[in-house]
């Protein structure tokens, strides 16, 4: 999954981290129109403890008035994770 991040156009600063609950996270900064307060982080879904694992993406965005969220880079990442790694992921905006 980290290799997918490293090779996806529009992704910068890909890294592995740990979530607040100790879950595994993959973090990156996507080149998208939405202004992100921090890195986008996809962390393991702690309710699913056995393979195939799923990841939940945290999008800490600030949306200019009248604009829609732009997640075209993150969407490409999620599609490639599914195709190359068999991993399901879900985006959550907060």
d(CA 42, CA 23): 10
Tell me, what's the pLDDT at 50?
Answer: 58
Residue 25 has what pLDDT? 92
**Alpha carbon of residue 66 to chain centroid:** 24
Identify the H or E element spanning 76. helix 72-80
Structure tokens at 57: 């993406």
Q: What is the distance between the alpha carbons of residues 61 and 46, in angstroms, rounded to a whole number?
A: 23
pLDDT of residue 52: 65
| Block mean pLDDT (10 aa), the chain, length 94 | 95 91 88 80 75 77 73 92 90 78
The pLDDT score that the predictor gives to residue 8 is 95
Domain region containing 12: 2-93
The per-residue pLDDT for 64 is 67
Cα(13)–Cα(64) distance, integer angstroms: 24
β-strands 11-18, 35-36: how paired? unpaired
| Number of compact structural domains in the chain | 1
């Amino acid at each position: 999954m980290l290799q997918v991040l490293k090779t996806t156009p529009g992704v910068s600063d890909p890294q592995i981290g740990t979530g607040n609950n100790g879950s595994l996270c993959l973090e990156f900064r996507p080149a998208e129109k939405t202004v992100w307060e921090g890195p986008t982080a996809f962390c393991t879904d702690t309710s699913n403890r056995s393979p195939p694992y799923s990841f939940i993406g945290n999008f800490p965005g600030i949306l200019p008035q009248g604009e829609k969220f732009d997640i075209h880079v993150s969407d490409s990442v999620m599609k490639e994770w599914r195709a190359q790694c068999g991993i399901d992921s879900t985006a959550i905006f907060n």
